[in-house]
Amino acid sequence: MQYHISTGLVIQHFEKDCNCPLCEMEKIVEANICRELLADGCMDDDVRHQVNARGFCLKHFEQLYEMPSKLGLSLQMTTRMNTIFKTFQPVNSTRKAKKQAKALESELTTCIVCDYTQKEMVKYYKTIAQLFDKEDQFKQMLASSNGFCLKHYAKLLEYSDFAFFSSAQYLKALYEVESNRLNKSVELLQAFSNRHDYRNLGKPLGEATNALPRIKNDFFGKK
């Protein structure tokens, strides 16, 4: 196989025995974006303009705060506050207060790191579909993977047309790997619940011990 930069990251994570290869890749993408935002992004007018307009969500603010460049984050947040102060104004009527409440709430729902991450991840969703179309070896890798969290499974479905003539085969392969995963989770949840029946008191939980963390990962991915 000839790997491009983006296909290299895909192969590397599909070869690993991991919970969701796309969650792992997304973590790398997010970390790179955060690093760039606090380094060159502080100086780049276009980036500053976008941070000004979109800001950060709680998750990414905390991720940025954990990084060494506190000055970078402070500069970005100073810029961001210019936008907030355009909305944060004295109001003299309840009608205007309700309007401002909506405007302030919507400022809390946008994030430049989420925007950049989504844009970057779309390239990987497309690459995965294209690899399935072109590489037999990759079909095997997908078939023997552990499936995906539901968010990333949905994204792979959304971009499945990039597998072109192999789309139907790709959808079937995705469904098989995902249904194995979800059926196993349901089986473990049932086993976990059954062990709490008084007739089963004292019996070991075995694999079912992880039933709830496992279903959490199925729904929300691994943080």
For the record, the structure tokens of 104 come out as 């302030």
For position 72 contacting Zn ion by CB under 5 A, the verdict is no
Q: Using alpha carbons only, how large is the chain's radius of gyration in Å?
A: 22
Contact flags string 104-143 toward Zn ion, x per CB under 5 A:
-------x-xx-----------------------------
Q: Under a CB-based contact definition with an 8 Å cutoff, are residues 114 and 60 in contact?
A: yes
221 binds Zn ion, rule: CB under 5 A: yes
What whole-number distance in Å separates Cα of residue 27 and Cα of residue 13? 12
CB of 138 to Zn ion, least distance (A): 18
Q: Does 60 engage in binding with Zn ion (CB under 5 A)?
A: yes
Q: Is 33 in the site for Zn ion (CB under 5 A)?
A: no
DSSP state, 163? Answer: G
48 binds Zn ion (CB under 5 A): no
Stretch that binds Zn ion, among 73-81, 122-130, 187-195, 215-223 (CB under 5 A): 215-223
From 15-23, 72-80, 131-139, 202-210, give the range in contact with Zn ion by CB under 5 A.
Answer: 15-23
Burial 6-41 (b: 16+ CB within 10 A, else e): ebebbbebbeeeebbbbbbbbeebbeebbbebbeeb
Question: In 69-111, which ranges are continuous DSSP H helix?
Answer: 70-87, 94-107
> Shortest gap between Cβ of 97 and Zn ion (angstroms)?
28
User: Of residues 9, 42, 149, 156, which one binds Zn ion by CB under 5 A?
Assistant: 149
Vertex 171 angle, CA 167 and 175, to 5° = 170
Residue closest to 124 by CA, chosen among 220, 17, 223, 32: 32
Least separation in angstroms between CB 153 and Zn ion: 8
Residues that bind Zn ion (CB under 5 A): 20, 22-23, 57, 60, 111, 113-114, 149, 152, 221
